[in-house]
């Protein structure tokens, strides 16, 4: 049996998280190491290792996650602008092998990213 990722353990309630939103398809919680005044992670409850592993059947789920991201940005007062980031693979900076969307805001965000 493969080991659970840290995010699967959060979904299963084995590790605490500061949850800001949850429904049957996803969970959103504050990042433990925030890179901006607001840094929330939105993750599907379905175990998908990365963006690369998204299947065609997951497209409605990915759309749902984006609606949640939009609504959270409004709820968290990010009206000035915000950024949604998906790190994919080792060179893309992905450290947790469970698909997640970073929602970052609350300060001006530079470009290009590192």
Residues in contact with ligand 5GP by CB under 6 A are 6, 15, 17, 29, 31-33, 41, 87, 93-96
Strands 38-44 and 82-85, sheet pairing: unpaired
CB-facing half-sphere around the CA of 30: CA atoms within 13 A: 10
Shortest distance, CB of residue 105 to ligand 5GP, whole angstroms? 15
Nearer to ligand 5GP, 54 or 60 (CB): 54
Is 66 a catalytic site residue? no
Q: How many helices (H) and strands (E) does the chain have?
A: 2, 5
Nearer to ligand 5GP, 73 or 100 (CB): 100
Nearer to ligand 5GP, 34 or 60 (CB): 34
* 3-state secondary structure at position 7: helix
Rounded CA-CA distance 60/6 in Å is: 25
Rounded CA-CA distance 65/92 in Å is: 20
Q: Which of 64, 98, 100, 102 is catalytic?
A: 100
Shortest distance, CB of residue 100 to ligand 5GP, whole angstroms? 6
Q: Which residues are catalytic?
A: 100
């Amino acid at each position: 049996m493969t080991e659970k990722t840290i995010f699967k353990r959060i979904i299963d309630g084995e590790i605490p998280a500061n949850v800001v939103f949850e429904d049957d398809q996803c969970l959103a919680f504050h990042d433990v190491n925030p890179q901006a005044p607001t840094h929330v992670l939105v993750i599907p409850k379905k175990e998908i290792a990365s963006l690369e592993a998204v299947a065609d059947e997951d497209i409605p789920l990915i759309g749902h996650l984006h609606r949640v991201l939009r609504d959270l940005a409004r709820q968290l007062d990010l009206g000035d602008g915000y950024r949604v980031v998906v790190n994919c693979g080792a060179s893309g900076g992905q450290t947790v092998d469970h698909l997640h969307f970073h929602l970052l805001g609350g300060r001006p965000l530079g470009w290009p990213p590192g």
